[in-house]
Structure 1
Amino acid sequence: MATLDELDHQFTRDLNAAVVLLEQDEFEKCNEALRSLIADSAMPRYHRIKCFTVLAGLLDDFHEAYVFYVKGETLWRITKQWHGNDPNPAVKKALDELHEGLEEMREALVNDEERPDDTPIPDVEADVLRTLEFYYARVEEDREIAEAEGETWSEDEMSDEDMGGGEEVSDKETKVEVEQKSGDKEESDAQNVGEKETAVQGKEPKDEMVCLEGVAVEGFY
């Protein structure tokens, strides 16, 4: 079984290779490489967020690109919840750099002049909160199932399914009809997510999900 350092270096190499394909305008090959990477449940969160961000900028389809951005932002918030108070400056730097890339992608998507005519400006915060809600609902469901079966429970490895598998934000009506979202609904969503973040704060996820320290990022950006 690979160590955390070995996994870190493996995924760093593979992700760097995908970025090289992007720089060489090999868009289809880059797309395939990134999708192959995110299909691997062993991928650390750092690399998974990077994959989501690059895919959001790579894809021509606005809706699919937006789904990947929301997944990246959601996963960043989950990771920030676990590591926001980590005294290691390398962890803080990694989180800050990841979010800088996500913020740039958010601006690009919100201000995309080629956004489909039938697609209003997305309500990003509401969509991220909804995806967080889905994630914590899955965590709670898995915990209850494990306890019912008498098994020791731990948070599942992150996967596309844990982020909603696209269902929560890929549907046009669910994702972008801002007119249907009232202020009270958004406030309720935010409160529910905040409560669930607090409820799971004391449970540390598996190490392979959050391999931020020692990430070999030289030449990556």
Structure 2
Amino acid sequence: MKAKVKKILALLDEYYPKDIKCYLNYETPWQLLIATILSAQCTDDRVNMVTKDLFKKYPSLLDFAEADLEELEQDIKSTGFYRNKAKNIILCAQKLLEKYKGEVPKNIDELTQLAGVGRKTANVILGNIYGIPSIVVDTHVKRVSYRLGLTKFTDPTKIEFDLMKILPEEHWIRYNTQIIAHGRAICTARNPKCEKCFLLPYCQYGLEERMGAVSER
């Protein structure tokens, strides 16, 4: 496994930029936190469309803390699960102001105590805001890591801990962004482009699919 991981990471570095890229638009740590809460079961592109106007309407954390629940629900409706998200955003903003003086904590235990914040959201903050090595298991990282055989689990937390064991810590953050890029361009959920994938020799799923296609001829 160690040799396989080393080759996969080298190829990812060859084909994708090494710099960290966050696909959510934000200007402040609390804006990224809110955007990431909105991104649950929603595409980053949709979230960016919503937050473009949302952060103008609510320019401060206090504005979110004092927001009218029903009005905020309508503001974010297109992101899905808007009732829970609106409630969590207001509660999260209130706690950030009351307990942390408006600062977003840099500790995963404190972050996950905020309303609507799970390990995925917390790790987005740790990696993108504070540069703390973290692994964000979004839908792309979950799918591609499983297909590559880097984990046998489908539970995001178990996948996160599996990846932490086998990936060098200095590669954690850029693994997130590189795999997201690969998942969008090549290893899509439906009809993955296995024939174009530079990771195919190391991909359990891709090799099995290829063998299946050959045997059907």
Give TM-score, length-normalised by structure 2: 0.28
Find the structure with the greater CA-based Rg. Answer: 2
Name the structure, 1 or 2, with higher relative contact order (CA <8 Å, separation 6+): 1
